[in-house]
Amino acid sequence: MRTARKGSVEMPAFVRQLVKETEKRVSSLFKGSRGGATDGEQPGEEEREEMMPSPYLDRPVLDKLAEEGSARWGLTYALGSMQGWRANMEDFHNCVPQLGGELTDWSFFAVFDGHAGSTVAEHCSQHLLGHILGTGGIEAEDDPEKVRGAIIEGFLQTDKQLHSVARREGWERGGTTVVSTLISPYYIYFANCGDSRAVLCRSGQVCFSTEDHKPYSPLEKERIESAGGSVTFQRINGSLAVSRALGDFNYKGAENRTPSQQMVSPEPEVCVVARSPADEFLVLACDGVWDTISNEELCAFIHNRLCVCADLRDVCTQVIDLCLYKGSLDNISIILLCFPGAPQLSAEALHQEAELEDLLESKVAEIYDELCARGEEPDLLSVLTVLASTVIPGLPPGGGIQSKRNCIISAYYQQRETHKPTSPNGLGES
């Protein structure tokens, strides 16, 4: 990862080292939390036959997809996504900074979080925008009611067309949540269907956020039960953890009910927010982000990072790594949209960042020396554990110590290199 001051080492290498150092403990922790056999226990023959393949890996896939772009009216954006601990990557996205024609100053962005496979998410990422524009309700005059209706109809048409394809292709299961935004010269339209989320930051504060659609929410639960379903363990029929999605047609078979009245509704919740010169940035992200960080924490963290990092892809990368370190076990995808009023690089913030990294390096050196003096092996996990219980002033708001692990791990390996034993002739061991 490239930071404000020191950027010679890529973050994924550090994460891989961390996973390598703590592999046994981390694997044991995650396997235990998934209900697997504990150390020293072997499942019986019947248990082995009934065990489902784990949806998680023994090690996370840390390779990241990163994109960036801009629109002529002043919007800049970046995308970051990573498979993480999940056995498969099921997230997709759509970034269209300029729609073209009379809608040249309009932009569309969306994150699709698939479940039970990636097919539905991929299909919808390719066709949703076309269905929305195909309604004819998106026009340069920018009538909020017409636009809102067009977005809803576009989602419903996408689901209808998807059903035909699913029957033809034999897709028996699978679905996707969607969080999207359509930005016009005057309004920001938010469309959410599921538990991915959008957050708008204005004047340094959370101005708006979408609501997650969960089965246990009162109105969602009422619709589910009216359609013949139940909510058990906070899931539809004890299985599906979202109450609105495209696809999931095995939950959409209730007779004499409209698509929006089924157990799983394809209708998005559409909200309209008037644009303001105080708008700073907008975030679209899957639940792999929101499972580990709140709206306010993410807004504060990104606001701080924009003051020390000029590359929006780096900011997205830092968010992804922060969520990974905070314990996210899901695919992680984020789109960051910056308006002309977004925070800019600050000389003062850059100086504070440099001072913080110097402080962290000195703390790591102190801990390393102290552990050595006690005759203990200063492995990475031990250093991280001690540092986590230390009061460190100036950490990025919303990120805490987890957001500076790249600096900490780099300092650790510098110390290990410095403390390498030397041979009698003064040469280091080979």
- Give residue limits of the domains in the chain: 67-338, 347-417
Topology of 347-417 in CATH?
A: Arc Repressor Mutant, subunit A (1.10.10)
| Cβ atoms 335, 111 nearer than 8 A | yes
Instruction: Give how far Cα 389 sits from Cα of 269, 367, 386, Å.
Output: 42, 12, 5
DSSP code for 421: -
Encoded tokens for 283: 């975030």
| Cβ atoms 124, 162 nearer than 8 A | yes
Encoded tokens for 171: 């897709």
Question: Which is nearest to 183 in space by CA: 296, 68, 267, 103?
Answer: 103
The answer to whether the Cα torsion of 35, 83, 287, 291 is positive or negative is: positive
pLDDT tens digits, one per residue of 39-89: 344 444 444 444 567 889 999 999 999 999 999 999 999 999 999 999 999
| Cβ atoms 178, 162 nearer than 8 A | no
Instruction: Give the distance between the most distant pair of CA atoms in the chain.
Output: 87
Helices and strands (H and E) in the chain: how many: 12, 14
| Cβ atoms 339, 107 nearer than 8 A | no
Tally the residues of the chain. Answer: 430
| Cβ atoms 265, 244 nearer than 8 A | yes
Distance of alpha carbon 79 from alpha carbon 124, whole angstroms: 18
Q: The tokens 């299985």 sit on which residue?
A: 239
Other C-beta atoms closer than 10 Å to the C-beta of 38 total: 8
Encoded tokens for 154: 């576009």
Burial per residue of 289-315, b for 16 or more beta-carbon CB atoms within 10 angstroms, e otherwise: bbebbebebbbbbbbbbbbbbeebbbb
pTM of model > 0.85: yes
Question: Which is nearest to 196 in space by CA: 330, 97, 310, 66?
Answer: 330
Distance of alpha carbon 195 from alpha carbon 269, whole angstroms: 11
Q: Which CATH class for the 67-338 domain?
A: alpha beta
Question: Which is nearest to 74 in space by CA: 303, 334, 338?
Answer: 338
Q: What is the pLDDT along the chain (430 residues), one digit of tens a residue?
A: 333 433 333 334 444 444 444 444 333 333 333 333 333 444 444 444 445 678 899 999 999 999 999 999 999 999 999 999 999 999 999 999 999 899 999 999 999 999 999 999 999 999 999 999 999 999 999 999 999 999 999 999 999 999 999 888 877 689 999 999 999 999 999 999 999 999 999 999 999 999 999 999 999 999 999 999 999 999 999 999 999 999 999 999 999 999 999 999 999 999 999 999 999 999 999 999 999 999 999 999 999 999 999 999 999 999 999 999 999 999 999 999 999 999 999 999 999 999 999 999 999 999 999 999 999 889 999 999 999 999 999 999 999 999 999 999 999 999 999 988 765 555 554 4
